[in-house]
Amino acid sequence: MHVNAVFIDDTFAEAFPMRAARIVVTAVNARWAREAALKLTGFATSVIACKCEAAIERELERHETPDGRPGISVLVFAMDTEGLGKRLVERIGQTVLTCPTTSCFDGLPGAEKRLTPGRSLRVFGDGFQASKVVAGDRFWRVPVMDGECLLQESFGVATGVGGGNFIILGADSRSTLAAAEASVAAIANMEGVILPFPGGIARSGSKVGSRRYKGLAASTNEAFCPTLRPLTASSLPADVDSVLEIVLDGLDEGSIRRAMRAGITAACLPGIRAITAGNYGGKLGPHHFPLRSILDERADAGART
Amino acid sequence: MSDRVTLTLRAALEESIEAEAIVPSAFATLGEAEIRALPVWAGRSRRVLADYFDVRGGQSATVRIVGDVRRAHGIATGMAAGDLVVDGDAGARFAAGMSGGRADVLGSTGDEAGVAMSGGSLHIRGDAGDRVGAGLAGASRGMTGGEIVVGGSVGAHAGARMRRGLLFVGGNAGELAARAIIAGTVIVIGRVGPEPAFASKRGSLVVAGGVDVPATYRHACDYQPPHVRLALTYLARRYDISLGAELVEGTYRRYCGDASTVGRGEILEWIRE
């Protein structure tokens, strides 16, 4: 299959279950909501070393937020519910609580499984905190120096999908980065999915473990490194000198499929030779995303040959 | 089984009746004939619902009352689920002890609407009498949950001894509003009468239309309380109430008190800018 003359590899992305929370941060204006959200999602590219993966999902209009202020929704993914709970306490406590004018709300109100970071964080109020119940949900008023920080007590937990991906193989660094940026732009603001790496793009595609260093959880995927082409069993065609990867985490399979379709289609630009995906032969996780069938799901996925 | 039960008042009530049997959650399991036979008290006389109302439908928790039932007291007592609409005014103790469901009075109610309420939603489009959302006589607690929204004004002791919940008043409140509240929130868009939040331990009295703050409350600061914004935004969306941005986004003067108790309560007075 080709899309705009870009070869689509007959392979699939392999992903695994994760636990996810959606955090809605509001503030006096969009700037401060974003400031908090950027800190909230900092250093959260991969569970391998960051203990969670997080990124901004989308900007929210006033009518979409509980308090009618500008907001940002953030998705946070961890490998288990306990770990997710710890990350929420750490991150909300150190980034939203500290940020001027912000409030913090649950973005998964329908989820049955709940975590209670607000209950843990309320003690920052040192006994001066107070709670309010609005619409059946409890909120904590934590006194801070600019007034009060309002934190929802309980946050829903979803069983999400982590590790969706596609890999862009380009002729050179410039065209490959441009294609990856186009992918990110196409996926930006899509509901239920995030791209946790810097700017949504990863250059350090990894393999599990290490060929030389014991105890290393992950190391470079030499098969996709153009500088190692003559030294390894390279997976790169001869006309590919740059590779970038888009990694996706989503609240469900459908979100990832939609985002992959949009992202892959957008990436099929001049200078791009092929799109492939990372998998472990089906041994890593139960969620498989075959590139070709994903692109076939919509008639307007692009001009194919 | 029908979509709803409709009770149509046959003639204007010439005497007060106790109609505690009119409870949507109870109607859900009763047929039309059983509903007709439910007891109603007129003074010491035991009558049945069919003596006063035409009953249509059964086995439904969606109930509509048509007619002026301001002399029918205790309607929706202990309502736990379902939907109730009263097409006009209702009497005293409307939705007393309500724990769930939605009750909507298109007119006004008498005293003690929503007393001892613990859950659900009570919407009174007109006015309410004294002790709305308060406790039953002698009880140590007023409402312990749920929401009461009054479009008009309320009498004295609104929300007295409230332990939890939300009481919104679109008009004015009489004396001793939020008296001795233990927690919860009372919001009054109009003016409140003398001695507001007297002896309150915790909880919030939010006033937009003017309040004489007692000497036992001390000024803390002027700020934009996020919980007030959240509550007003929620109420505006849920009940389609028109609240200006100046109230929702406005600045409030916070007073801490009542100093005669633990003093963890607050009066939040909206500042017109």
Q: pLDDT tens digits for B10-63? A: 999 999 999 999 999 999 999 999 999 999 999 999 999 999 999 999 999 999
For residue A304, pLDDT over 90 is answered with no
Burial group, residue A273, by CB count within 10 angstroms (0-12, 13-18, 19+): buried
Q: Give the model's pLDDT for residue B273.
A: 78
Distances (CA, A) of B128 to B107, B108, B109: 9, 6, 5
From the candidates A24, A64, A133, A151, which should be mutated to test the interface with B, based on the most B CB atoms within 10 A? A133
Task: Identify whether the C-beta of residue A13 lies closer than 8 Å to the C-beta of residue A4.
Answer: no
Best of A132, A141, A151 to substitute, by most chain B Cβ atoms within 10 angstroms, is: A132
Q: What are phi and psi of A172, to 5 degrees?
A: -150, 170
> How many residue pairs from chains A and B have C-beta atoms closer than 8 A?
50
The complex's ipTM? 0.95
- Residue A217 CA to residue A214 CA, distance in Å, equals 9
Cis, peptide link before residue A296, omega less than 30° from 0: no
Choose from B200, B202, B205, B230 for mutation: most chain A CBs within 10 A. Answer: B230
Choose among A183, A180, A193: nearest CA to A249: A193
pLDDT reported for residue A197: 97
Per-residue DSSP letter, B190: S
* d(C-alpha B42, C-alpha B49), whole Å: 11
Residues A276 and A237: their CA atoms lie apart, in Å, by 12
Query: What does the pLDDT read at residue A303?
Result: 39
pLDDT range class, residue A281, cuts 50, 70, 90:
confident
Q: Are B155 and B130 in contact (CB under 8 A)?
A: yes
- C-alpha distance from B184 to closest chain A C-alpha (Å): 7
Percent of chain A with pLDDT strictly greater than 90: 92
* pLDDT tens-digit series, residues B194-205: 999 999 999 999
Per-residue pLDDT band at A298 (split at 50, 70, 90)? low
Residues of chain B numbered 130-149 and touching chain A (CB < 8 Å): 145
**Hey, are the CB atoms on B227 and A135 less than 8 Å from each other?**
no
Q: What is the band of A3 on the pLDDT scale with cuts at 50, 70, 90?
A: very high
A128-132: long-range contacts, CB 8 A cutoff, minimum separation 24: A130/B202, A130/B264, A132/B185, A132/B204, A132/B227, A132/B230, A132/B231
Ordered by where they begin, the domains of chain B are 1-65 (no CATH), 74-271 (2.160.20.60)
Q: What is the predicted pLDDT for the residue at A300?
A: 46
Interchain pair B227, A139: CB under 8 A: yes
3-state secondary structure of A251: coil
Residues of chain B with Cβ-Cβ distance to A133 below 8 Å are 145, 164-166
Q: What are phi and psi of B253, to 5 degrees?
A: -95, 120
The one-letter amino acid at A103: S
Q: How crowded is residue A90: how many other Cβ atoms within 10 Å of its Cβ?
A: 15
How many C-alpha atoms does A15 have within 13 Å on its Cβ side?
30
The mean pLDDT of chain A is: 95
Measure CB to CB from residue A68 to each of B145, B202, B233 and give the nearest one: B233
- Please, what are the averages of pLDDT over each run of 10 residues along chain B (273 residues)? 92 96 96 97 96 97 97 98 97 98 98 98 98 95 97 98 98 98 98 98 97 98 98 97 95 97 97 87
Q: Is the pLDDT of residue A255 over 70?
A: yes
Chain B residues with CB-CB distance to A67 below 8 A:
226, 229-230, 233
Residue B215: partners with Cβ closer than 8 Å, 6 or more residues away = none
Least confident of A93-102, A178-187, A278-287, B150-159: A278-287
Q: Which of A72-86, A190-204, A273-287, B230-244 has the lowest mean pLDDT?
A: A273-287
- Position B15 scores a pLDDT of 94
- 10 Å CB burial of residue A116 (0-12, 13-18, 19+) is middle
Tell whether the model's pLDDT for residue A21 goes beyond 80. yes
Report CA B22 to chain centroid distance, whole Å.
Answer: 18
Q: Does B219 touch chain A (CB under 8 A)?
A: no
The residue-averaged pLDDT of A120-132 equals 97
B224 inside 8 A of chain A by CB: yes
Q: Considering only residues 31 to 70 of chain B, which have any Cβ-Cβ distance to chain A shorter than 8 Å? A: none
Model confidence at A280, in pLDDT bands (50, 70, 90)?
confident
Cα B58 to Cα A151: distance, rounded to the nearest angstrom: 44
Q: Which of B202, B225, B230 is nearest residue A134 as measured by Cβ atoms?
A: B230
Does position A299 have pLDDT exceeding 80, yes or no? Answer: no
What end-to-end distance do the CA atoms of chain B give, in Å?
A: 56
Burial letters B72-86, b for 16+ CB under 10 A, else e: bbbbbbbbbbbbbbb
HSE at residue B151, side-chain half, CA atoms within 13 A, is 14
- List CB contacts (< 8 A) between A69 and chain B: 229
- Write down the pLDDT at residue A305: 38
- B237-240: long-range contacts (C-beta < 8 A, 24 or more apart)? B238/A135, B239/B123, B239/B149, B239/B168
Confidence of residue A123 (pLDDT cuts 50, 70, 90): very high
CA B264 to CA A47: how far, in whole Å?
A: 43
The domains located in chain A, with CATH, are 2-14+161-296 (3.30.70.520), 17-158 (3.30.70.520)
Mean pLDDT of A87-104: 98
